[in-house]
Structure 1
């Protein structure tokens, strides 16, 4: 088993699985709570518009509610925070960059995505694992 150290955790490559220890679960919980509160705030703005107020409440409430509903749907349906993933479940592994952030993505066969942040120091080791990975049927 090979273990790679992250800034706030580790990734371990076993023979048939990947073990991930990071703060992703806590970040996801905070994102869901925050988006839920903003969604409620947007709905309250829309309800305030129905009491005869200005159009501002309708449009800003719709913008806030729909934006955060989208975040909730994406997070709940298309992302995962699992710490143990079997190689047989993985469809694709890749390293991506957005801005100054480099992250390791595992696309699973059930269409969910597991993203591991802050992998700047271990990109070469991850590329080695990606090049030897072959998806199992």
Structure 2
């Protein structure tokens, strides 16, 4: 479990981050630590290559861990004890004429497309470059 905590620290995230936050944190940190940003600074470029390897490892581990959790949850819900389906009475719409049925259209459900803001801890640039 200590490796997982280290992976969250590498991505600069809280340990209760969602898979979307993990991926966004990975994208943010790879942008910061991409070796191409340090052309002309060999020491920083080597450090960035090492840091990028850590980021890739952390992202892969946390991503596979979240996929395993989703599979486990799906398996639990699939095999959970459920009661047999209840018998339904005939549909009340069967006695209505087709024109009456067409008049009763339902509005499409609204989808919340607003994503919650992603918060992550940011370390000062001096800590990153040492």
Query: Shared fold (TM-score greater than 0.5)?
Result: no
TM-score by length of 2: 0.36
Q: Which has the higher contact order (CA 8 A, sep 6+)?
A: 2
- The higher radius of gyration belongs to 2
Higher strand share: 1
TM-score (norm: length of structure 1)? 0.35
Whichever structure has more helix as a proportion of its residues is: 2
